[in-house]
Structure 1
Amino acid sequence: MASLHDRGSQGCWESALGRQAKLFVCLLSVKNKIDTFRSAAPPYQVLDGLKTNINNYSIAVLLSVNISAYKGDIPCNHILNILKRYRFDMPPGIEHDYANWEKITTAVSYSLTQTHARVKKLVQDSIVQDTNVFALVQVIVHGTPCWPTVQLCSRWAVHQECKGSEKYWNLIDQRLALVRRLAGIDADKASKIFRAILKTDRETYGVGEDYVIADLVADDWQQRVDDVVSGI
């Protein structure tokens, strides 16, 4: 016959096992509810709010003074890094869900394609309408916190060189790569090169126009973009 002490110990042990069993059953119930919720949830879609942010940051990245290329994976990756940093309305951990992250990547690629097409058309229209480069960039940055700076204005008069062909963005990337090679990490040297390019552009496309283009300090919004683009 078991002693009172043995029966007391057995009772405590059964009580502990009982609590663990109840906890396990509770966890299974929660897991089942989560699984049911997930299976009932509609497939993930990129919402309009996120699309708006992607569109805004597409133009901001392309206008960043730190951008090293306008085509390919570089601008796309910059925008994706901005989305990862500031999240917006993205579900937690979605960047680790390949299928759903691909939907966001596709939205970014589409936005960049549309922005490229819009900018090229504005450049073409400005040449036809004899619009100076400053007014052109004002239209390009309209609706964004970006400002027409020397760096921005000195990048858009390549259209005549390629005669409006599909090589337009390729030539801009080549010009930008040349500036980066010549200036290295020296921001002042890069600014001087951009000024020289702008001087030539103004003599060619903006003669007789009275406007001043300054090297303005980016506001907080554009500075955040520039920091991501520069890898900060």
Structure 2
Amino acid sequence: TAVGRQAKLFVCILSVENKINAFRSATPPYQVLDELKTNTNNYALAVLLSVNVSAYKGDIPRNHILDILKRYRFDLPAGIEHDYANWEKVTTAVSYSLTQTRARVKKLIRDAITQNTNIFALAQLIVHGTPCRPTHVIHQECNGGEKYWNLIDQRLALIHKLAGSDAVKATRAFRDILKTDRNTYGAGEDYDILDVIADDWQQRVDDVIAGI
């Protein structure tokens, strides 16, 4: 009868629901995998080195990396950005990666100043072990412990303010900083920093930061 068929259908639905609930209960809590950490570490440096980044500390670089993760997914579970508890784990991992990357870069710069390392050698050290490649790099001494990146951000913000939307003016400002650095710490004779076009990998990072 129709009532009997509806009753059987209802029982089947309940059975499926119970199986789904049992599966969910058996699923272990989400953890950020090593593969995602590796991707995050590489993209952390790429974001900090991007020509489009407007700050090195705070929410701005972190959100850029999160946007990259949302776009390219990697091993992220579908819809995890809507699961606030688990997405917080990803956000925390990204923040930690940025903190570690900034600390590493700061140490390399400090050591380079002490050892009078030229700018290209410093750039190679900074990007070593990552897909990044050195083109134009800023090597600037900045005293002040925890205030280091705050002062760097202030200088970056000033450059953006003075240049406005004019990329040529911004490039000229970075060239002046680079020139001062090379005059102070030496340029060496075994390299020349050219206007190299970013490779596809770095270009993808720049595009995400630029909102493209």
Q: In the TM superposition, what whole-angstrom CA distance separates every residue of 1:191-224 from its partner, at most 9, and x where no partner exists? A: 1111111111111112554531112111111111
Query: Which one has a bigger Cα radius of gyration?
Result: 1
Give the aligned partner of residue 205 of structure 1: 185
Q: Show the 5 A alignment for 1:166-205.
A: 166-205=146-185
SS, match of residue 145 in structure 2: coil
| 1:136 has 2:116 as partner | no
**1:143 CA drift (Å):** 1.9
Match in the other structure for 1:50 = 36
Say if 1:145 and 1:219, in contact at 8 Å, map to a contact too: no
1:177 offset after TM fit, Å? 0.6
Is the contact between residue 116 and residue 185 of structure 2 (CA under 8 Å) also seen in structure 1? Answer: yes
Q: Residue in 2 aligned with 1:82?
A: 68
Normalising by structure 1, we get a TM-score of: 0.86
Q: Give structure 1 stretches of 5+ with no counterpart.
A: 1-13
- Percent of aligned pairs sharing the same letter: 75
For residues 210 and 157 of structure 1, the distance between their equivalents in structure 2, rounded to whole angstroms, comes to 21
Report the TM-score, using the length of structure 2 for normalisation. Answer: 0.94
* Partner residue, 2:204: 224
Question: Partner letter of residue 181 of structure 2?
Answer: D
1:118 is aligned to 104
Looking at structure 2, the residues matched to 144 and 87 of structure 1 have their Cα atoms a distance apart, in angstroms, of 19
Which consecutive residues of structure 2, in runs of 5 or more, have no partner in the other structure?
A: none
Looking at structure 1, the residues matched to 188 and 76 of structure 2 have their Cα atoms a distance apart, in angstroms, of 49
Bigger mean CA deviation after superposition, 107-116 or 177-186: 177-186
Which position in structure 2 is the counterpart of 1:158? 141
Asked if 1:147 is matched to 2:144, the reply is: no
Q: How many equivalent pairs are there?
A: 212
How far does residue 91 in structure 1 lie from its aligned partner after superposition? 0.8
> 1:149: how far off?
1.9
Give 1:18 shift.
4.2
CA-based RMSD: 1.5
Partner of 1:41: 27
State how far apart, in whole Å, the 2-side matches of 1:120 and 1:136 are. 11
